[in-house]
Each structure stands twice: as C-alpha cells, then as structure tokens.
Amino acid sequence: MRNTYKKLEVLHFPDPRLRKIAKEVDTFDNSLQTLIDDMFFTMYEEKGIGLAATQVNIHKRIIVIDITNDKSEKIDLINPKLISLSSTKDSMDEGCLSVPGFYETVSRPNQVKIETYNTKGEKKILDAEGLLAVCIQHEIDHLNGVLFIDYLSKLKKDMIIKKLAKQKKEINKIVL
Ligand code: QAP
Ligand code: CO
C-alpha cells in the first residue's frame, strides 16, 4: 500500500467510451495493484460502492467493490465471469457514479456464482447474494459497455437523457 493515491476521473453518461468492451487482464504486475488501489481511492472519494475500470476510461476487466459503511471489505475482481445466476430475482434501486443523481429500480437475479482472479493471478470462486450479487452484475455490465439505465423503459431512459442534457446546458450557461 502506498500513502498517496490518484483520484481518477469518472466518465459520465452519455460518454461513448462507457460503451467500449473491456479486455482481459493478462499481466499480474505491480501496476495492476496500483490501478486497483487508485480505483478504491476514487470510489471512496465519490461515495460509491462499486467501480469498474471502464468508468475511469481504462478498458480492462477490473472491478472494485465495497458495500460496507466503514470501508472494511474491499473486494477486487479481475477477469470476473458469471458462472451461475439464480432464477429468483430481486428488485433494487440502483445508481451509478457514471449517471450521477439518478436512481431507478432494476430487477436482477439475487444470487450469483463467479469465477475471478486475485492480483496474484490465482483463480477464485465467489458466491454472492443480495446487494453484493446485484453490484457484481452491475459492474460486470460496465465491462461489457452496458449501463443500468439500459434496463429501463424507453420512456424512463429518455427522461434521464433529457434531464442530463438540460443540466449540461445550465452548466454551460454558467461557464459562458
Ligand atoms: C452500483 O453504484 C450499484 O448518483 C454502484 O450522486 C448501486 O456506487 C449497485 C453514486 C446501487 C447496486 C445498487 C451514485 C454516488 C454511487 C450517485 C454506485 C451519486 C453518488 C453509485
Ligand atoms: Co455503475
């Protein structure tokens, strides 16, 4: 662990770079650990519970998650692969650091099993349920260029797009 971290810039929807497909990590070196540490730092600074590398414009299959309130359970996933999904689903209010200010209900399987790698390049199996299971699916979606708002009705999605465009217009007015 270092004592200084870099706060990475988080891309915001509708940035087209959020649609890129991330590539598998094939080198497990120090720079990978550095990136993961900076991703945790960025996620905590932004008050998030999950962050995918895609969101910080790094198109590699890396995710950081911490769903605790006291930063006590850091989970990093490298090349995560869903190997089973429960048929039972749960609806949860989801948000996203790349779609700030918007929360909508999404239905997803409430239990998942994934295969993933740690920073040493060792393969691990992880079983998750509830919020962690939902967060894992949300973040793996990012690696595939998918956002939670893609699951909403066209009406709801269009409303978000419109509000964001309006916000951007207001910000530009102030800058001008
Ligand atoms: C994904 O999202 C997630 O709009 C992680 O103003 C969220 O960390 C999975 C955030 C909920 C399951 C349930 C969003 C912070 C953080 C905002 C996040 C905001 C500030 C979102
Ligand atoms: Co997100």
- pLDDT tens string 71-90: 999 999 999 999 999 999 99
CA 131 to chain centre: 13
How many helices (H) and strands (E) in the chain?
3, 7
- Ligand minimally distant from the alpha carbon of residue 147: 2
CB atoms within 10 A of CB 134: 26
Percent of the chain with pLDDT over 90: 94
- Ligand minimally distant from the alpha carbon of residue 49: 1
Which residue shows structure tokens 């080198």? 27
Q: Would you state the pLDDT for residue 11?
A: 98
Question: Catalytic: which of 46, 94, 139, 170?
Answer: 139
Give the CA angle between residues 77, 70, 30 to the nearest 5°.
35
Q: Does 1 have pLDDT greater than 90?
A: no
> CA-CA distance, 126 to 63, in Å (whole number)?
14
137 CA to centre of ligand 2 in angstroms: 10
Q: What is the mean pLDDT of residues 109-114?
A: 98
Pocket test for ligand 1, best of 18, 45, 47 (most atoms within 8 A of CB): 47
Which residue shows structure tokens 């949860």? 92
Q: Does 107 have pLDDT greater than 90?
A: yes
Q: Tell me the residue type at 53.
A: A
> CA-CA distance, 163 to 131, in Å (whole number)?
27
Bridge partners, 13 (sequence order): none
In the structure, which protein residues have their CB atom closer than 6 angstroms to any atom of ligand 1?
46-50, 92, 94-97, 100-101, 134-135, 138
> CA-CA distance, 139 to 150, in Å (whole number)?
14
Please tell me whether the overall predicted TM-score, pTM, comes out greater than 0.95 for this model.
yes
Which DSSP category does 21 fall into? P
Which DSSP category does 118 fall into? -
Give the torsion through C-alpha atoms of 124, 76, 25, 144, to 10 deg.
Answer: 100
Active site residue 139: yes
Which residue shows structure tokens 């708002």? 149
Mean pLDDT of the chain: 97
Q: Whose CA is nearest to atom 8 of ligand 1?
A: 48
Q: Would you state the pLDDT for residue 2?
A: 85
Q: In 3-state terms, what secondary structure has residue 87? A: coil
pLDDT tens per residue, range 16-57: 999 999 999 999 999 999 999 999 999 999 999 999 999 999
Q: Would you state the pLDDT for residue 108?
A: 98
